[in-house]
Structure 1
Amino acid sequence: MSKETLLNVKNLHVDFHTYAGEVKAIRDVNFDLKKGETLAIVGESGSGKSVTTKTLIGLNAKNAEISGEILYQGRDLTQLTESEWTKVRGNDIAMIFQDPMTSLDPTMRIGMQIAEPILIHEKISKKEALDRALQLMKDVGIPNAEEHINDYPHQWSGGMRQRAVIAIALAANPQVLIADEPTTALDVTIQAQILQLMKKIQKERESSIIFITHDLGVVAGMADRVAVMYAGKIVEYGTVDEVFYYPQHPYTWGLLNSMPTTDTESGSLQSIPGTPPDLLHPPKGDAFAARNAFALDIDHEEQPPFFKVSDTHYAATWLLDERAPKVDVPEKIKARWDRWEKMKGAN
């Protein structure tokens, strides 16, 4: 039985009008999100991950021009007015921001910051909202919550502030949580605690999560499906196992090759050469062609369509075209394929 689709993004384009010209930040992005699943969107800085999620929650700058559809339970969010967004934001879709110190109000007590979305979306008293805030503080693992409900953000550690940000996002019980690199500013031990907390909350509340990150190690433990973004486009998507163990796009190969594992030898990590293209003037063909050691002539002339790898796995690379020459896949990726085949055989 297939899960209910909560969110469906169709042909999304986001352009920013600047003094230098029109920045084509998001270029024809399509994906969906099902109830209770975690979709990870991964890619380098500047690939369009955060612009995509800000568009999903109506927080883009005023110079943004949006086209396409964002259907939440059949309602197109791109058509909402700001007053309509106020009812959706926090109540249906909430966001956990990257840096808790800048997303928390330094002049407001933390308990009140958690209670604020409850007061906005529900007709209850301030005392009732604060009681709910106290319970949320306990739910996200803040010790001795009664003693700390009146603290200010500067009195808390980074990990505790991130828990407060998660509590704020959960306050109005949204169905969709967008987590924009929520562990970037934290050390590894605290990162693990926050990720474990998010998985626990998701299971308890049956919420859906869009997880934005450049850290593929985080994705392996969090995601059900993965969308790989480059230069404002999704270039590969599939289940987490398919993208990790059977990747098809050279950009995904590059991301995986630059990720350390327990088998990585000192000095063996490989970076992707070059830099992402200027989206004021996007390339004519495949945006990754200039950095792609496996690029074909057509990559410089025409954008590749999505080629079907399986019912759940697609990649936009001309290497999957039946006319393309056979490519010698990097040895590390071959090793992943071998591991994937063994895993499938064991099942």
Structure 2
Amino acid sequence: MCVRNLNCQVGDKKLLENISLNLEEKQALAIIGKSGSGKSLLARSLLALLDRDFYLRADEFFVDEIKPLKANSKTLQILRTRVALVFQDVMASFYPFLDVGALFHLILKTHTRLNAKMRKEKAFFYLHRFGLENLELIWHSYVHQLSVGMARRVSLALALVCEPRYLICDEITCSLDHENELRIYEFLKELKKDLGIILITHDLNGARELADEILVLEEGKCIEKALKDEFFQAPKSEYAKNLLAEFKKEKYCF
């Protein structure tokens, strides 16, 4: 994945300005910044998941051979099997009238040619991979009937079932207790052996644990980008220094 000078605006209002990033498989990039800095907007922009009011342009933007800004709907569908996005609000991310089984069937029927039996077998493989048990019960449950920790793991299984090359995680440990948070990071470290991961987070401990590189956003601009160790040892911008100082005072949300 390569992005050079990505811009996003609505009318005359600039929301993202000249954002550049590169991501290879088996690497992780953490994107940090205060609420409203443009992190989630950037995640959606990478998948062209924006309303028509949003105008995107870039000097260079490609995922493998796909150029999202020039892609038609069929090519964008292929893109969204290469790049999976796990949203922050897991309970609001899925159509509430479809149970877990129906969600898996919908995704796999859209993106693969597997029959119903094979779709269920593949779904169970990924649910089990994330440590879930009682799979038949989960299969017939609705996401809102699950605990937050279970729902988060189901969302990861749904994201990975089409075998993407890149995974974007938007605040996926938000609202989790410490035990489930640690469990999710262990899963992500295992996934990093095969995937490129973008971690959008307020949790700098998680960023330190997983990321190879840190990108800092402020008001839609990248004000600092550095290797993880360089960033945590000697952040250059005052904004980044303040983020680190605030995080030491209160572990989560800025």
* Cα drift, residue 116 of structure 1: 2.4
Amino acid across the alignment from 2:72: T
Corresponding residue number in structure 1 for 2:183: 193
Q: Equivalent of 1:236, from 193, 211, 224?
A: 224
Q: Equivalent of 1:134, from 124, 127, 130?
A: 124
1:248 counterpart SS class? coil
Percent identity at matched positions? 29
Residues 100 and 165 in structure 1, CA contact (< 8 A), matched pair in contact too: yes
Q: Equivalent of 2:202, from 196, 214, 218?
A: 214
Residues 26 and 196 in structure 2, CA contact (< 8 A), matched pair in contact too: yes
1:87-138 Cα distance to aligned partner (Å, 9 max, x none): 221x111101111100122211212212322221111211211111111110
Q: Are 1:248 and 2:236 an aligned pair?
A: yes
2:175 counterpart SS class? coil
1:150-190 Cα distance to aligned partner (Å, 9 max, x none): 11222210000000100110010000001011111222221
Corresponding residue number in structure 1 for 2:6: 12
Distance in 2 between residues matched to 1:82 and 1:147, nearest whole Å: 35
1:75 counterpart SS class? coil
Comparing both structures, which one devotes a greater share of its residues to helix? 2
Amino acid across the alignment from 2:31: I
Residues 105 and 153 in structure 1, CA contact (< 8 A), matched pair in contact too: no
RMSD: 1.7
Corresponding residue number in structure 2 for 1:317: none
Amino acid across the alignment from 1:158: V
Corresponding residue number in structure 2 for 1:93: 83
Corresponding residue number in structure 2 for 1:224: 212
* Cα drift, residue 80 of structure 1: 1.1
Q: Equivalent of 2:137, from 138, 143, 147?
A: 147
Corresponding residue number in structure 1 for 2:93: 103
Corresponding residue number in structure 1 for 2:169: 179
Size of the alignment, in residue pairs?
251
Task: Structure 2: state its 5+ residue gaps.
Answer: none
Residues 98 and 185 in structure 1, CA contact (< 8 A), matched pair in contact too: no
Runs of 4+ with >3 A deviation: none
| TM-score between both structures, scaled by the size of structure 1 | 0.69
Between stretches 76-85 and 40-49, larger displacement belongs to 76-85
Residues 36 and 207 in structure 1, CA contact (< 8 A), matched pair in contact too: yes
Q: Equivalent of 1:63, from 31, 53, 64?
A: 53
Alignment of 1:23-102 (within 5 A): 23-68=13-58, 69-89=60-80, 91-102=81-92
Distance in 1 between residues matched to 2:126 and 2:66, nearest whole Å: 29
* Cα drift, residue 31 of structure 1: 1.1
Distance in 1 between residues matched to 2:148 and 2:66, nearest whole Å: 37
| TM-score between both structures, scaled by the size of structure 2 | 0.93
Amino acid across the alignment from 2:212: D
Residues 7 and 17 in structure 2, CA contact (< 8 A), matched pair in contact too: yes
The higher relative CO (CA closer than 8 Å, separation ≥ 6) is in 2
Q: Equivalent of 1:158, from 141, 148, 163?
A: 148
2:247 counterpart SS class? coil
CA radius of gyration, larger in: 1
Q: 1:174 to 1:209 in 2, by over 3 A?
A: same
2:14 counterpart SS class? strand
1:229 counterpart SS class? strand
